Homo-oligomer: A and B are copies of this chain.
Amino acid sequence: MDKQYVVGVDMGGTNTVFGIVDARGNVLSKSAVKTSTHMDVNLYIDDIYNELIKLIDDVGGISKIKGIGVGAPNGNFYTGNIEFAPNLNWKGVIPFAKLMSEKFSVPAVLTNDANAAAIGEMTYGAARGMKNFIMITLGTGVGSGIVIDGKLVYGHDGFAGELGHTCSVRYNGRLCGCGRTGCLEAYASANGVARTAREIMETSKEESLLRNIPAESITSKDVHDAAVQGDKVALEIFEYTGKILGEALSDFVAFSAPEAFILFGGLTKAGDYILKPIVEHMEKNLLALWQGKIKVLFSDLKEADAAVLGASALAWEI
């Protein structure tokens, strides 16, 4: 095979990580540039080019590269554009796939990060062999990528799969970053967990290791570390978060009847502490016909590589 590698680019609001990936999902090399320091997208692409071309040359030059896959905030697969991304410097519509393709003279394709993660799981990870699954990324935000019949769901406009912003998780619930209330993201994101921690500590008199940490900086890892030591507040935080997430998953099952959910991100580090309440409450809320049939799995991709792998997987399908 001549074109035996793909490039994955994971664009975050702060940093952009990219790497060369082979067909078995090995990340051969990786590098990064700053996203947030560039006000001009062309200078940002120059910056990526200067770093990435070294990695490409190391594997035999651009002729070895099948294409470039990009996972980007508000990335639209159909158009290759980044459209009105609130957390990037470049406003409006940026034809990012086209710019990358012109710069590197190989095809480039783009989607949002959670969709890229789903394709990564299907190509290299926990969803290999699955035709119907839903990827949920639990990070700063809550993202999702939905796969039906082996294909990612993009919807009529390219923006399908915003399950973090289903809002009926709690009617008139917490204010979400999107400006609406009761979104899943307001409960199951990193911020959501920290907020749950604060709420529980404010309303309970229970002693907790978490009281030693400034409330606004509590992470899922802190909650996990406390839970391991039997901390009741920590366990209650996971129970509350898992209940809301499990109930949300049961509604998603009613939509597309997936074989499995693949969960990825900070919250999954809590292992069974979060998995057990998720599964318990999902099962409790499923229609009888689905009880005991839907798997909930954690991603088994190395966290440091997962986003680059996911983005790169897109490029195999060019």
Q: Is the CB of A167 within 8 A of B251?
A: yes
A window 152-168: CB within 8 A of B = 153-163, 165-168
Q: Is the CB of A178 within 8 A of B255?
A: no
Collect the chain B residues with CB atoms within 8 Å of residue A154's CB: 257
Cα of A235 to Cα of B171 in the assembled complex, Å:
23
Secondary structure of the A contact surface, majority rule:
loop
Q: Does A141 contact B (CB under 8 A)?
A: no
Q: Does A151 contact B (CB under 8 A)?
A: yes
With A162-B254, A171-B170, A247-B167: A157-B287 Cβ-Cβ less than 8 Å: no
With A167-B250, A171-B170: A155-B287 Cβ-Cβ less than 8 Å: no
Q: Does A109 contact B (CB under 8 A)?
A: no
Of B131, B155, B248, B285, which contacts A132 at CB under 8 A? B155
The number of residues on chain A lying at the interface, defined by a beta carbon within 8 Å of a beta carbon of chain B, is 47
A-B contact pairs, 15 of them (CB 8 A): A83-B289, A84-B289, A132-B155, A148-B155, A155-B256, A155-B257, A157-B293, A160-B256, A161-B254, A163-B254, A163-B255, A165-B287, A166-B254, A167-B254, A170-B171
Q: Is the CB of B250 within 8 A of A252?
A: no
Please state the number of chain copies in the assembly: 2
Q: Does A259 contact B (CB under 8 A)?
A: yes
Beyond A159-B257, A167-B254, A252-B255, 8 extra complex contacts between A and B, CB < 8 Å: A83-B289, A157-B293, A160-B255, A160-B256, A161-B254, A167-B250, A171-B171, A178-B287
Q: Mark A244-268, 1 if CB is under 8 A from B, else 0.
A: 0001101110111111000000000
A window 211-255: CB within 8 A of B = 247-248, 250-252, 254-255
- By CB atoms of chain B within 10 A, which of A83, A149, A179, A254 has the most? A254
Find the B residue at minimum CB distance from A159: B257
Q: Does A269 contact B (CB under 8 A)?
A: no
Collect the chain B residues with CB atoms within 8 Å of residue A49's CB: none
